[in-house]
């Protein structure tokens, strides 16, 4: 044993160090610890664990899918929001099943507290408040990290989840605060350590609206928006009955010409339009200034007024993020119906921060050039809590698998939104914070939020984050679905009176000859449940099984088409390009393709084919080249 006095500073050793305890960091640390790795997670403030510095909700279109997938793999986000939500809504219910999306308003403070509690009760996991300032990298391999107080934490792997804290500054008008979100301490040293190790850094920007004192709002001038009557949980492990509770309301109001006039008049005071901001902002989440300028023909914009929690008066004004000076913010918010006497609790602001070019990462989220160093979340150029958490769990899993000498877990585009997200990040050159969208998922009919467990829980089980009991339940569910689909396809329905009555009652055309039950389910006006009265031998099945049967029968044609496309896709995806390939040797490639391939070093032919600047002919050439290599190896044997 070493004597303590000899050491001037703290030195500790862990399997895995996680830098940052936001949504990515929490998932990464939990996955890592749960897979048996001795893990430490650093946060700049113990009061900001899993903080939600922007919108007070989890989920929404495509993001809800991500949460469900994280849950199906054994992550925490779904469980945590089920514990702390104050309103819940299934979006797009009138549209196809693939775009149904769950969104829940969170009690922000409770969300953070619950997550902190979970981290602190997790075996193998240490939560520590400290700013990480330096990476210790030797021979292209991570060895540990240093903190501001000169502590050294040795590790085998590290996962960077620094969010929007790296060299961040917040701006409104000509006021610049050198802080992270919500006035928290920024991390000002790590960027240099990264560039010293040849990591390429980008500068991105995002923003948030003001929080208004609820007591100063006249809700009678707004439209009240309620949660769903029947609440659907995010987590497949949450019993729906256990979360049916009283919900709070959100409110809808609008900007108007007066608001826009004030904004136009003061544009020169916005740091974006004054050219002070250097970072690239997201187009899908424009500030109100951007909306007024770019969509000048719109006479009003929607605003969603959402509660931040049960223990605060603060209301989030969704749709009106801004970086105008304080005084202009007052002026413009007060033009909005219901906000005439608004008191601002927190200003709207824009935030700039350092992040990396994620093409420096492998699909496993490990740096290509620094062994054992992983990265997840906004640090990788994404935006959103859910996108961050999704990368977090994968980075946590892959860091653990690396230490277990197991092959990395790479979810592909045909099995999950997580796969689409990570593939896009590490393959395409993102020029703005990346947000998930359902349109980015080319096989989205298969990637529904309702079947995330069927797609991923088996993988979660193999990885070790899903226990035996949950896995067995899934297998039973899978079986019930298969059997029932089979049965429904073989049930004959005759044109008897009972059937005709049922059809007429459901505004469907009566039969003129016998059909299979599945044919009736496919009729637009009918579904599986509506036909239960004429399906005499129907077994008693749980609602989630019935839902799967209905969707699979009803949309079978399209689903089969997508499955065929996936088979084509997999052909190229499973052709792995050896690490040893030297693209300079492949003479026939066009110059641009050779440069891009050398830089990005794709893992498979499939990934190569998605790199912009690589043509189908280049892919053909690569295939021939790889085939040639095979023969050469054979000759050598």
The residue (of 143 and 570) whose beta carbon lies closer to other proteins is: 570
- Asked if 265 is part of the footprint of other proteins (rule: CB under 8 A), the reply reads no
| H/E element, 128 | strand 125-129
- Asked if 632 is part of the footprint of other proteins (rule: CB under 8 A), the reply reads yes
Distance CA 378, CA 206 (A): 11
| H/E element, 203 | strand 201-208
- Asked if 10 is part of the footprint of other proteins (rule: CB under 8 A), the reply reads no
Burial class of residue 311, CB neighbours in 10 A (0-12, 13-18, 19+)? exposed
- Asked if 564 is part of the footprint of other proteins (rule: CB under 8 A), the reply reads no
Of 7, 141, 298, 498, the one binding other proteins (CB under 8 A) is 298
- Asked if 447 is part of the footprint of other proteins (rule: CB under 8 A), the reply reads no
The residue (of 215 and 612) whose beta carbon lies closer to other proteins is: 612
- Asked if 555 is part of the footprint of other proteins (rule: CB under 8 A), the reply reads yes
Q: What number of chain residues touch other proteins (CB under 8 A)?
A: 58
Burial class of residue 629, CB neighbours in 10 A (0-12, 13-18, 19+)? middle
Distance CA 588, CA 624 (A): 11
List of residues 6+ apart from 398 with CB closer than 8 A: 364, 365, 366, 374, 408, 409
- Asked if 300 is part of the footprint of other proteins (rule: CB under 8 A), the reply reads no
Q: Supply the minimum distance, in Å, between the C-beta of residue 93 and other proteins.
A: 9
DSSP percent split of the chain into helix, strand, coil, nearest 5: 40, 20, 40
* Residues in region 534-553 near other proteins by CB under 8 A: none
Residue 106: helix, strand or coil by DSSP? strand
Q: Supply the minimum distance, in Å, between the C-beta of residue 561 and other proteins.
A: 8
Give the CA radius of gyration of the chain: 27
Q: Supply the minimum distance, in Å, between the C-beta of residue 511 and other proteins.
A: 18
- Asked if 313 is part of the footprint of other proteins (rule: CB under 8 A), the reply reads no
The residue (of 36 and 96) whose beta carbon lies closer to other proteins is: 96
Residue 136: helix, strand or coil by DSSP? strand
Stretch that binds other proteins, among 277-285, 358-366, 387-395, 465-473 (CB under 8 A): 277-285
- Asked if 226 is part of the footprint of other proteins (rule: CB under 8 A), the reply reads no
Distance CA 484, CA 507 (A): 25
- Asked if 305 is part of the footprint of other proteins (rule: CB under 8 A), the reply reads no
- Asked if 611 is part of the footprint of other proteins (rule: CB under 8 A), the reply reads no
Q: What is the largest CA-CA distance in the chain?
A: 93
List of residues 6+ apart from 482 with CB closer than 8 A: none
* Residues in region 144-173 near other proteins by CB under 8 A: none
- Asked if 301 is part of the footprint of other proteins (rule: CB under 8 A), the reply reads yes
Q: Supply the minimum distance, in Å, between the C-beta of residue 183 and other proteins.
A: 20
Q: Supply the minimum distance, in Å, between the C-beta of residue 186 and other proteins.
A: 23
- Asked if 444 is part of the footprint of other proteins (rule: CB under 8 A), the reply reads yes
Exposure string of 38-58, with b = 16+ CB inside 10 Å and e = fewer, is bbbbbbbeeebbbbbbbbbbb
Q: Supply the minimum distance, in Å, between the C-beta of residue 182 and other proteins.
A: 17
Of 19, 21, 28, 54, the one binding other proteins (CB under 8 A) is 54
* Residues in region 377-436 near other proteins by CB under 8 A: 428
- Asked if 437 is part of the footprint of other proteins (rule: CB under 8 A), the reply reads yes
Of 10, 46, 310, 624, the one binding other proteins (CB under 8 A) is 624
- Asked if 87 is part of the footprint of other proteins (rule: CB under 8 A), the reply reads no
φ/ψ bin of 328: left (φ > 0), alpha (ψ from -120 to 50), beta (otherwise): alpha
- Asked if 318 is part of the footprint of other proteins (rule: CB under 8 A), the reply reads yes
- Among 450, 453, 452, 449, CA closest to 547: 450
| Contact in structure between 11 and 154 (CB atoms under 8 Å) | yes
The DSSP string of 161-188 is: --TT-BT-EEEETTEEE---GGGPPPB-
Stretch that binds other proteins, among 348-356, 396-404, 454-462, 582-590 (CB under 8 A): 582-590
Interacting residues toward other proteins by CB under 8 A = 54-55, 61-62, 91-92, 95-99, 209, 282-286, 291, 294-295, 298, 301-302, 304, 318-319, 321, 428, 437-440, 444-445, 524, 555, 558, 561-562, 586-590, 612, 615-618, 620-621, 623-625, 627-628, 631-632
């Amino acid at each position: 044993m070493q004597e303590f006095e000899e050491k001037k500073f703290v030195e500790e050793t862990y399997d895995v160090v996680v830098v940052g305890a936001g949504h990515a960091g929490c998932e990464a640390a939990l996955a890592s610890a749960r897979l048996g790795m001795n893990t430490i997670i650093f946060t700049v403030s113990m009061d900001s664990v899993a903080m939600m510095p922007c919108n007070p909700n989890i989920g929404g279109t495509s993001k809800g899918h991500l949460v469900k997938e994280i849950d199906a793999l054994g992550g925490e986000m779904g469980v945590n929001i089920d514990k702390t939500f104050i309103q819940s809504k299934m979006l797009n219910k009138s549209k196809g099943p693939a775009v149904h999306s769950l969104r829940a308003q969170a009690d922000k403070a409770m969300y953070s507290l619950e997550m902190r509690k979970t981290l602190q009760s997790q075996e193998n996991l240490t939560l520590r408040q400290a700013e990480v300032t330096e990476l210790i990298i030797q021979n292209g391999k991570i060895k540990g990290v240093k903190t501001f107080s000169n502590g050294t934490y040795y590790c085998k792997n590290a996962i960077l989840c620094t969010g929007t804290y790296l060299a961040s500054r917040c701006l409104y008008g000509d006021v610049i605060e050198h802080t992270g979100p919500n006035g928290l301490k920024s991390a000002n040293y790590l960027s240099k350590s990264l560039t010293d190790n040849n990591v390429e850094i980008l500068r991105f920007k995002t923003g948030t609206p003001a929080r208004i004192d609820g007591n100063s709002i006249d809700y009678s001038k707004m439209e009240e928006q309620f949660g769903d009557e029947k609440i659907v949980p995010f987590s497949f492990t949450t019993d729906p009955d256990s979360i049916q509770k009283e919900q709070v309301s959100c409110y809808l109001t609008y900007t108007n010409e007066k608001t826009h006039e004030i904004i136009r008049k003061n544009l020169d005071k916005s740091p974006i339009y004054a050219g002070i901001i250097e970072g690239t902002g997201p187009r899908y989440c424009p500030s109100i200034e951007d909306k007024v300028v770019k969509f000048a023909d719109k006479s009003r914009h929607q605003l969603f007024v959402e509660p931040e929690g049960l223990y605060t008066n603060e209301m989030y004004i969704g749709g009106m993020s801004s970086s105008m000076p304080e005084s202009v913010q007052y002026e413009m918010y007060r033009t909005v119906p219901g906000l005439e006497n608004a008191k601002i609790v927190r200003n709207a602001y824009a935030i700039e921060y350092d992040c990396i070019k994620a093409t420096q990462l492998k699909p496993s989220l490990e740096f290509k050039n620094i062994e054992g160093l992983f990265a997840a979340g906004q640090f990788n150029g994404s935006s959103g809590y859910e996108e961050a958490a999704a990368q977090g769990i994968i980075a946590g899993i892959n860091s653990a698998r690396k230490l277990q000498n197991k092959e990395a877990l790479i979810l592909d585009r045909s099995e999950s939104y997580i796969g689409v997200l990570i593939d896009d990040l590490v393959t395409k050159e993102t020029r703005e914070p990346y947000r998930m969208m359902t349109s980015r998922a080319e096989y989205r009919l298969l990637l529904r939020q309702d079947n995330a467990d069927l797609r991923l829980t088996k993988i979660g089980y193999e990885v070790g984050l899903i226990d035996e009991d949950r896995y067995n339940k899934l297998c039973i569910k899978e079986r019930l679905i298969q059997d029932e689909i089979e049965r429904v396809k073989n049930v004959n329905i005759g044109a008897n009176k009972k059937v005709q009555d049922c059809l007429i009652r459901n505004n469907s055309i009566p039969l003129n000859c016998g059909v299979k039950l599945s044919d009736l389910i496919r009729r637009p006006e009918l579904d599986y449940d509506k036909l239960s009265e004429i399906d005499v031998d129907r077994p008693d099945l749980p609602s989630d099984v019935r839902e799967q049967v209905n969707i699979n029968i009803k949309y079978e044609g399209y689903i089969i088409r997508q499955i065929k496309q996936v088979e084509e896709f997999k052909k190229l995806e499973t052709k792995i390009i050896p690490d040893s390939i030297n693209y300079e040797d492949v003479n026939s490639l066009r110059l641009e393709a050779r440069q891009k391939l050398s830089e990005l070093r794709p893992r498979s032919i499939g990934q190569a084919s998605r790199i912009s600047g690589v043509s189908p002919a280049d892919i053909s050439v690569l295939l021939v080249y790889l085939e040639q290599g095979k023969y050469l190896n054979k000759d050598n044997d």
